[in-house]
Amino acid sequence: MTTRRTFLRGVSGVVAIAVAGIETPQANAQAAKVDEADPQAVALGYRHDTTKVDKAKFPKHEASQKCGNCQLFQGKAGDAWGGCPLFPGKQVSGNGWCSSYVKKA
Ligand code: SF4
C-alpha cells in the first residue's frame, strides 16, 4: 500500500535524480562544442585557439588569456573543454578565448 509519506519520498527521490542529472560534470562533458561560426561565437570573437584571435579586432587580447583561466569557465583547471554561461549547453575550449574574457581572480 502506498501511503502519502512513501509517495512523497518517491517523488522527492525522482526530483533529486533529475536535478543531479542536469548538474553532473558528465552531462556537461557530453555537451556539444561551440561552433566558431555560431552567431554568438562570431559576435564575441570566440576562437577555440586563443592564438588565432583577430588582433586587429581585439587589440587588447593577449595570448596568455584563455578560457581555462577565465572567471566564467565552468570546467576544472586543466580541463580541455568546459561550460561557459555565455554559451548555454555548449562547451568552450580551455585554450579558447572570447571578448568577454575576465581573468580568474
Ligand atoms: Fe571563454 Fe571566458 Fe569567453 Fe567563456 S567568457 S568563452 S570562458 S573567454
Average pLDDT (17-37) is 64
For residue 74, what pLDDT band results from cuts at 50, 70 and 90?
Answer: very high
Q: Is 66:97 a contact under the CB 8 Å cutoff? A: yes
- In this structure, what are the phi and psi dihedrals at residue 92, rounded to the nearest 5 degrees? -110, 155
Counting ligand 1 atoms within 8 A of each CB, the residue from 35, 49, 101 with the most, and so the one to mutate, is 101
pTM for the complete prediction? 0.74
Pocket of ligand 1 from Cβ distances under 6 Å: 46, 67, 70, 72-73, 84, 86, 92, 96-98, 100-101
Q: Where are the domains of the chain?
A: 31-93
What percent of the chain has a predicted confidence (pLDDT) above 90? 70
Nearest CA to ligand 1 atom 1: 67
Task: For strands 32-33 and 81-83, give the pairing.
Answer: unpaired
User: Relative to the CA of 84, which ligand 1 atom is closest?
Assistant: 4
Residue whose entry in the numeric block shows the C-alpha cell 586563443: 50
Question: 16 and 61 in contact (C-beta within 8 Å)?
Answer: no
Q: State yes or no: pLDDT of 47 exceeds 70.
A: yes
Residue 6, all three cell numbers:
512513501
- Return the residue matching grid coordinates 583561466: 69
Architecture, CATH, for domain 31-93: Irregular (4.10)
